[in-house]
Structure 1
Amino acid sequence: MTISSINTPAAHLSGFILTRQAYDTKQGIELSFWLKSHNGVRNFLVKHEKAVFFVEAGQQSKASNLLNDNNVIVENIKPVPLKTFGQVPVVAVYFSTMREFYRAREILKTHDVKCYEDDFRPEDRYLMERFITASAHFTLADQQSLTAGQRKSRFPVHLVHKSRAIPAEQTLDAIRLSMVSLDIECSMKGELYSIGLYSENLNNQPLKKVLMIGSPNTFAKSKKLNDKQASDIETNIVWLSDEQTLLKTLIEWIEVNDPDVFIGWNVIQFDFALLQKRCDLYGINFTIGRDGRAPRWRKNQNSEQQFIDVNGRIILDGIDLLKTATYNFPSFSLDYVARELLGLAKKVDDVDNRIKEITDNFHHDKLALAAYNLEDCRLVTLIFNKTQLLDFAMLRAQLTGLTVDRIGGSVAAFTNLYLPKLHRAGYVAPNMGDGLQGLVSPGGYVMDSIPGLYKNVLVLDFKSLYPSIIRSFNIDPMGMIEGLNDPDNAIEGFDGALFSRDKHFLPDIINQLWLERDKAKKEQNAALSQAIKIIMNSFYGILGSTVCRFFDPRLSGSITKRSHELLKVTKSWIEDKGYKVIYGDTDSIFVHVGNDKTPDECKSLGEVLQHFINDKWQAKLKADFDIESQLEIEFETHFTQFFMPTIRGLEVGTKKRYAGIVIKNGQQALIFKGLESVRTDWTELAKKFQRELYLKVFNGEEVTNYIIDFVNKTKNGEMDDLLIYRKRIRRKLDQYVKNVPPHIKAARLADEINNKANKPLKFQNKGWIEYYLTTVGPQAKGYVSAPLDYQVYVDKQLATVADAILPFIGTSFSEITDAQMNLFN
Structure 2
Amino acid sequence: MTNAFLLTSSWHDDDQGTLLTFWWHTALGPLRQQIRQPAICFIDVSDTERARACAAMLNWPIDIREVGLRRFSGEPAAACYLPSAYLYRWRDVLQEQGIICRELDIRPTDRYLMERFVYGFCQLDGEFSEAPGGRYQTLSEGRMRAIGRDDSLPPLKILSLDIETSFPRKGQPDRLFSVGFYAPDFQRVLMIGNAAQTGEDLQLVEDERELLLRTLSLIAEYDPDVIIGWNVVQFDFEFLRRKYLEHDIPFVCGRDGSELQWRQSANNPDRIYMHIAGRVVLDGIELLRNATFQFESFALDDVATHFLQEGKLLHGEQRADDIEYLFAHDKPALAAYNLKDCELVWRIFVKADLMNFAIERSHMTGLLMDRMGGSVAAFENLYLPRLHRAGYVAPNIGEGYHEQKSPGGYVMDSRPGLFEHVLVLDFKSLYPSIIRTFKIDPMGLSEGMALPTSSVDTQQAVPGFFGGRFSQEKHILPELIRMLGEKRELAKKAGNKALSQAIKVIMASCYGVLGSDGCRFYDTRLSSSITKRGHEIILQSSQWIREQGYDVIYGDTDSVFVWLKRSVADDEADAIGKQLIAGLNQWWAEQLQQRFAITSYLEMEYETHYRRFFMPSIRGEETGSKKRYAGLISHADGSAEIIFKGLEAVRSDWTPLARAFQRELYRRIFVGEAYGDWLRAEVRSLLNGEKDDQLIYRKRLRRPLSAYQKNIPPHAQAAARLEQWLDMKGLPARFALRGGWIEYRITVNGPEPVWPDGSSGSAADYTHYLEKQIRPTADSVFQFTGDDFIALAGLQLSLF
Please give the range of the TM-score, normalised by the shorter of the 2 chains: over 0.9
Correspondence list, 1:484-495, <5 A: 484-487=449-452, 488=455, 489-495=460-466
Distance in 2, matches of 1:739 and 1:80, equals 62
Counterpart in the other structure of 1:448: 413
The one of 145, 149, 171 equivalent to 1:166 is 145
Greater displacement, 299-308 / 522-531: 299-308
| 1:187 aligned partner | 166
Distance 1:26 1:74, change over 3 A: closer
Aligned-pair distance for 1:246? Answer: 1.2
Shift of 1:172: 3.6
Q: Give, as a single letter, the amino acid of the residue that structure 1 aligns with 2:70.
A: K
Bigger mean CA offset, 780-789 vs 770-779: 780-789
**Cα distance between partner residues in 2 of 1:181 and 1:290:** 17
Residue of structure 2 in register with 1:391 after alignment: 356
- 2:3·2:150 contact (CA, 8 Å) conserved in 1? no
Deviations 1:494-545 (A, max 9, x none): 1211111111110111111101100010011110000000100111111111
Aligned residues: 782
Say whether the 8 Å CA contact 2:538–2:555 is kept in structure 1: yes
Deviation at 1:26, TM superposition (A): 2.4
Match of residue 577, structure 1, among 530, 540, 548: 548
Q: Deviations over 1:241-261 (max 9, x none)?
A: 111111111111111111110
Whether 1:312 aligns to 2:278 is yes
1: CA distance between counterparts of 2:283 and 2:370? 8
RMSD: 1.7
Q: Distance in 1 between matches of 2:259 and 2:352?
A: 31
2:718 maps to 746
Maintained 8 Å contact 2:22/2:33: yes
One-letter amino acid of the counterpart of residue 136, structure 1: C
> Is residue 138–residue 160 contact of structure 1 (8 Å, CA) maintained in 2?
no
User: Which residue of structure 1 lines up, in the alignment, with residue 400 of structure 2?
Assistant: 435
* AA partner of residue 506 (structure 2): I
Does structure 1 conserve the Cα–Cα contact (< 8 Å) formed by 2:424 and 2:608? Answer: yes
State the distance in 2 between where 1:89 and 1:154 align: 49
Distance of 2:726 and 2:238 partners within structure 1:
28
Unaligned runs of 5+ in 2: 168-172
**What secondary structure is seen at the aligned counterpart in 2 of 1:779?**
strand
Which of the numbers 779, 790, 795 marks the counterpart of 2:752? 779
Instruction: Tell me the amino acid that sits aligned with residue 175 of structure 1.
Output: P
For residue 761 of structure 1, report the CA deviation from its aligned partner.
Answer: 2.0
Q: Deviations over 1:108-161 (max 9, x none)?
A: 3355421100001211111011111111222315x6xx5745xx8731111124
Distance in 1 of aligned mates of 2:342 and 2:675 = 48
Structure 2: distance between partners of 1:636 and 1:531: 22
Give CA-to-partner distance per residue, 1:671-727, whole Å, 9 cap, x none: 000100111110000000000000111112222211111111111111111100000
Of 771, 775, 784 in structure 2, the residue corresponding to residue 795 of structure 1 is 771
Looking at structure 2, the residues matched to 249 and 216 of structure 1 have their Cα atoms a distance apart, in angstroms, of 14
Q: 1:822 & 1:542 partners in 2: Cα distance?
A: 54
Q: What is residue 806 of structure 1 aligned with on the other side?
A: 782
Give the counterpart of 1:74 among 51, 61, 65. Answer: 61
Q: Quick check: 1:153–1:290 contact (8 Å CA) kept in 2? A: no
1:414 aligned partner, one-letter code: F
| Distance of 2:574 and 2:621 partners within structure 1 | 34
Aligned to 1:222: none
SS at 1:352 equivalent: coil
Partner of 1:131: 117
1: CA distance, partners of 2:485 / 2:705 = 47
Q: Give 1:600's aligned residue.
A: 571
Match of 1:525 in 2: 496
Cα gap change, 1:99/1:522 in structure 2, threshold over 3 Å: closer, same or farther? same
Structure-2 change in CA distance of 1:68 and 1:670 (3 Å): same
Match of 2:189 among 192, 207, 210: 210
Asked if structure 1 preserves the Cα contact closer than 8 Å seen for 2:190 and 2:204, the reply is yes
CA contact (8 A) 2:422 2:609 kept: yes
Which residues in structure 2 correspond to 1:42-441 (within 5 Å)?
42-47=31-36, 49-69=37-57, 71=58, 73-95=60-82, 97-141=83-127, 146=129, 148=131, 154-161=135-142, 164-188=143-167, 189-200=173-184, 206-215=185-194, 217=196, 234-304=199-269, 305-348=271-314, 350-441=315-406
C-alpha change, 1:111 and 1:336, in structure 2 (3 Å) is farther
SS, match of residue 702 in structure 2: strand
TM-score, normalised relative to structure 1: 0.92
Question: Alignment identity in percent?
Answer: 45
Shift of 1:81: 0.7
Matches of 1:672 and 1:593, distance apart in 2: 21
Q: What residue identity is the alignment partner of 1:584?
A: G
Answer yes or no: is the 8 Å Cα contact 1:82–1:428 preserved in 2: yes
C-alpha distance in 2 between matches for 1:131 and 1:410: 18
| Aligned 1:653-802 pairs, distance under 5 A | 653-664=624-635, 665-765=637-737, 766-782=739-755, 785-802=761-778
Secondary structure at the counterpart of residue 659 of structure 1: strand
Q: Partners in 2 of 1:547 and 1:110 — Cα distance?
A: 24
In structure 2, what is the equivalent of residue 223 of structure 1? Answer: none
For 1:457, the aligned partner's letter is V
**Greater shift in the superposed pair: 26-35 or 397-406:** 26-35
1:581-627 CA distances to partner (integer Å, 9 max, x unpaired)?
11110000101113421011101111111111111111111111111
**From 466, 472, 477, the counterpart of 1:501:** 472
The DSSP-based 3-state class of the residue aligned with 2:626 is: coil
Shift of 1:191: 1.5
What is the DSSP-based 3-state SS (H/G/I as helix, E as strand, rest coil) of the residue aligned with 2:141? Answer: strand
Letter in 1 for 2:746: L
Show the counterpart of 1:22.
11
> Does structure 2 retain, via aligned residues, the 8 Å contact 1:153–1:291?
no
1:621 match: 592
Alpha-carbon distance, 1:651 to partner:
1.1
Distance, in Å, in 1 between the alignment partners of 2:700 and 2:427 is 35
2:195–2:206: 8 Å Cα contact kept in structure 1? no
Q: CA deviation at 1:764?
A: 2.2
Single out whichever of 327-336 and 522-531 deviates more from structure 2. Answer: 327-336
Q: Which 5+ residue runs of structure 1 have no aligned equivalent?
A: 1-11, 201-205, 220-233
Q: Report if the CA contact (8 A) 2:610-2:631 is conserved.
A: yes
Partner of 2:170: none
Match of 1:351, SS state, is coil
Aligned in 2, Cα 1:412/1:613: closer, same or farther, shift over 3 Å?
same
Do the aligned partners of 2:130 and 2:136 also contact (CA within 8 Å) in 1?
Answer: no
Counterpart secondary structure, 1:621? helix
- The two structures have a TM-score, normalised by structure 2, of 0.95
User: Could you tell me whether the CA contact under 8 Å between 1:454 and 1:595 is conserved in 2?
Assistant: no
Give the whole-Å Cα distance in 1 for the aligned partners of 2:230 and 2:209: 24
**Equivalents in 1 of 2:130, 2:160: separation in Å?**
34
Residue 171 (structure 1) shift: 3.8
CA contact 2:91–2:100 (8 Å) conserved in 1: no
Look up the equivalent residue of 1:541 and give its one-letter code.
Answer: G
CA distance in 2, matches of 1:509, 1:636: 26
Matched, 1:458 2:423: yes
CA distance in 2, matches of 1:631, 1:318: 36
CA contact (8 A) 2:440 2:526 kept: yes
3-state SS of 1:115 partner: coil
